[in-house]
Amino acid sequence: MPGHRIIPAFPNWGFDFMSRKPVDRADLPPLLAEVFRKHGYEGASLALISEATGLGKGSLYNFFPGGKEEMAAAVLADVDAWFEEHVFAPLRQESDADKAVSSMLDAVDAYFHSGRRVCLVGAFALDDARSRFPERIRGYFARWVAALAEALARGGRKDAAILAEEAVGLIQGAIVLSQALGDTGAFDRAIDGLRRRLVAPQTRSRSAQA
């Protein structure tokens, strides 16, 4: 019997509470990202998403008619755009190769909070979310490696491509290790090690002048 007659039990009658925060769709991806990061694609239920955003299903499906999959896609696009702007593009454009690599390491360290924050794209790559967004995931890592290789080559390094791949892998592995050990040390040491190996001493902005 479709169309029972729907009688809302508790309509919002007469109380406009807390002076309405005007929510914009563009504000959501970071909030959604935290949920996907913490719980993975499958584990990120609409209940958790609703709680994290403070939005009911109505609003969520208004912003993302495609449901969870569209939310995850929006988050991936958002993360991708952030890295494109703050990591990949600088790597490609900064003419001083050492400075390019060094500021990449700074950006990455800040973004991942010394390994306390998981890489969403990396987590999706291990998860079966991989099968839902293969191109996004592939592109993110491929562009990261390529941009870093370009910078290293510009700096005159031999085997720039291999070095770049190793560096990106090391960062991802360091996140895994830091999470597993519950200790940011592994991540910090990985970043320091990369700085030592990839950046000329006089350009290093943070630490580790061994």
Partner DNA sequence: TCTGTATTGTACCAATCGGTACATAATTTG
Partner DNA sequence: CAAATTATGTACCGATTGGTACAATACAGA
* C-alpha span between 14 and 6 (Å, rounded): 20
98 touches 38 (CB < 8 A): no
- Per CB under 8 A, contacts with a second copy among 11-30 are none
Of 61, 86, 111, 173, the residue at the interface with a second copy (CB under 8 A) is 173
Q: How many degrees, rounded to 5, is the angle at CA 118 between CA 138 and CA 178?
A: 120
62 touches, from a second copy, DNA, none (C-beta below 5 to 8 Å by class): DNA
Nearest alpha carbon to residue 68 among 96, 36, 94? 36
Binding mask 105-144 for a second copy (x = CB under 8 A): -------------x--xxx-xxxx-x---x--xx-xxx--
Residue 1 neighbours by CB under 8 Å, 6+ apart: none
186 touches, from a second copy, DNA, none (C-beta below 5 to 8 Å by class): a second copy
Measured from the CB of residue 129, what is the shortest distance to DNA in angstroms? 12
Of 26, 51, 57, 113, the residue at the interface with DNA (CB under 7 A) is 57
State the distance between the two ends of the chain, measured CA to CA, in whole angstroms.
75
* Residue 202, Cβ density class (10 Å: 0-12 exposed, 13-18 middle, ≥19 buried): exposed
Structure tokens at 207: 């630490």
- Per CB under 7 A, contacts with DNA among 102-161 are none
162 touches, from a second copy, DNA, none (C-beta below 5 to 8 Å by class): a second copy
List contacts with DNA (CB under 7 A): 1-4, 6-14, 16, 20, 22-23, 44-48, 55-59, 61-63, 65, 67-69
